[in-house]
Structure 1
Amino acid sequence: MDFIFMLTRDDRTVTDCLEVVDAVADLGVAHIGFKDVGVDRDTLVRLHARLRGLGVTTYLEVVSTGRDQALASVRTAVELGVDRLMGGTWIEETLGLLRGTPIGYLPFAGEPSGHPTRLAGSPERVAADCRAAEAAGCAGVDLLAYRATDADPLDLVRAARAATTGHLVVAGSITGDDQIRALAAAGADAFTIGSAAFDGSLRPRAGTLRSQLAPVLATAAEVS
């Protein structure tokens, strides 16, 4: 299962993202993402160029649940040339902006709201959204399972897996090995971790970011 390291804390890209990338570059993190809030455009350009140089798969995740701001994030993804765009719910408009690019789009399934984002919606709603996304030509879905307000997180993952053959990424509020193993068993293809690594909650007794990430990489490899 793929581990996507998000250079974010509280749904904002960390201001020292370039230094963070340099500090963990040799760990073998093959998937790294960020958001277009928290740092300025020049920093995003330099960050993406650095990630490209490392050969990792890059992700931009849409933060805004408002249409205009979300579509502005899509335009940023196109300008940067990321590999995958996650989030947002305006599928038709987003795919239109991505047309002619190789960027794979993974919209939110369910009903996201607020900041940090929470997820409303039943397993049936999530399954319907997954089917709609696949029919529209999306590469998969972005599921905020552990930020669910109306359902058990793993029920949402299982419903999504049954409804789509696309790439299923579970994002947000993942803090430990048990969750990672449960996600793998439920059918997730990938998961993201950002804040939990930066605040030290993955390994509370460990003091460095490298010490937070290395065990996650090992668990992801174990369940693959």
Structure 2
Amino acid sequence: MTELIFMLTHHDVTIPNAIEVFDEVKETGIKFIGCKDVGLPIDKLRELFGKMKKADITTFIEIVSDDEEKHFAGVKTAIKVDADYLIGGMPQFTKKTLEYLKNKKAKLKFFPYIGKIVGHPCVLEGKVDEIINNGIEFEAIGIDGINLLLYRYVGDVDTLLNEAVKNLRVPLIIAGSIDNFEKIDQLKSKNVWAFTIGGAILEKRFAPGKSVSEQVSVVLQHLR
């Protein structure tokens, strides 16, 4: 079954009331929740991740910085808060990140971006075969999965998805700009492992006029 990862983020930063929003959604049946490495001080992040662990939530931290120092600060944050998954991270840092995680004996799983990532918010550029080959190259060095900016791709999204599902062996998380049920249905039809939604839930796009917890419930119900 394709899974929803609810991201407590908006505009690529963790929302300031992330703990309160988590408390609101934790009874919906959501199993996967994440946030960015930036936006909350480390003590608040530790509190948030502690509460999520206590509620048996699988946890994710996503990194989007193209600055190497900020990237590795995010990796360290993910280890400090004991996240289950580290997702994102620019492709140019993937090999070094894998080595760092191995040296630290970190238990978290790593799902980096693939392809040419540009701008902020990030978009994905490059030819489909180049993006897929980048993923295959990363599989060979030991990544656990891939965080694919499918709906931020400037080319043919359908072709990219088809080729990714066909050629990549590791689990896929689809991140970015998932803001309607049509996109969710497309991912379900391809048995993609998971996808992230943050802003579209916080902006209440899936059930207009309803609460954030009701947005989460509606998406979860749609996946069943």
Q: Same fold (TM over 0.5)?
A: yes
Alignment correspondent of 1:95: 98
Residues 53-92 of structure 1 mapped to structure 2, 5 A cutoff: 53-88=54-89, 89=91, 90-92=93-95
Alignment correspondent of 1:142: 147
Aligned equivalents of 2:156 and 2:72: distance in 1?
Answer: 30
Please list the CA deviations of residues 167-215 of structure 1 after superposition, one character each: whole Å capped at 9, or x if unmatched: 10000110121111101223421111000001112223x3311221111
Residues 8-27 of structure 1 mapped to structure 2, 5 A cutoff: 8-27=9-28
Stretches of structure 2 that go unaligned for 5 or more consecutive residues are: none
TM-score by length of 1: 0.93
AA at the equivalent of 1:39? L
Alignment correspondent of 1:46: 47
TM-score by length of 2: 0.93
Aligned residue for 1:155, secondary structure, equals helix
Please list the CA deviations of residues 23-44 of structure 1 after superposition, one character each: whole Å capped at 9, or x if unmatched: 1110011000100111111111
Alignment correspondent of 1:172: 176
Aligned equivalents of 1:6 and 1:122: distance in 2?
Answer: 28
Aligned equivalents of 2:38 and 2:148: distance in 1?
Answer: 20
Aligned residue for 2:143, secondary structure, equals coil
Please list the CA deviations of residues 11-54 of structure 1 after superposition, one character each: whole Å capped at 9, or x if unmatched: 11110000001011100110001001111111111111111111
Aligned equivalents of 1:41 and 1:154: distance in 2?
Answer: 39
Aligned equivalents of 2:24 and 2:169: distance in 1?
Answer: 35
Alignment correspondent of 1:192: 196
Alignment correspondent of 1:215: 218
Alignment pair present for 1:28 and 2:29: yes
Please list the CA deviations of residues 137-167 of structure 1 after superposition, one character each: whole Å capped at 9, or x if unmatched: 0011000111112x12232222222222111
Stretches of structure 1 that go unaligned for 5 or more consecutive residues are: none
Aligned equivalents of 1:188 and 1:121: distance in 2?
Answer: 22
Aligned equivalents of 2:7 and 2:107: distance in 1?
Answer: 21
AA at the equivalent of 1:164? L
Aligned equivalents of 1:63 and 1:17: distance in 2?
Answer: 18
Aligned equivalents of 1:18 and 1:184: distance in 2?
Answer: 29
Considering only aligned residues, what root-mean-square deviation do their CA atoms show, in Å?
Answer: 1.2
Aligned length: 219
Residues 2, 220 of structure 1: 8 Å contact kept: yes
Higher relative contact order (CA 8 A, sep 6+): 2
Alignment correspondent of 1:203: 207
Aligned residue for 1:19, secondary structure, equals helix
Please list the CA deviations of residues 95-123 of structure 1 after superposition, one character each: whole Å capped at 9, or x if unmatched: 11211122111010111122211111221
Residues 157, 188 of structure 1: 8 Å contact kept: no
Aligned residue for 1:26, secondary structure, equals coil
Q: CA deviation at 1:64?
A: 0.5
Aligned equivalents of 2:126 and 2:192: distance in 1?
Answer: 18
Aligned equivalents of 2:142 and 2:25: distance in 1?
Answer: 34
Alignment correspondent of 1:160: 164
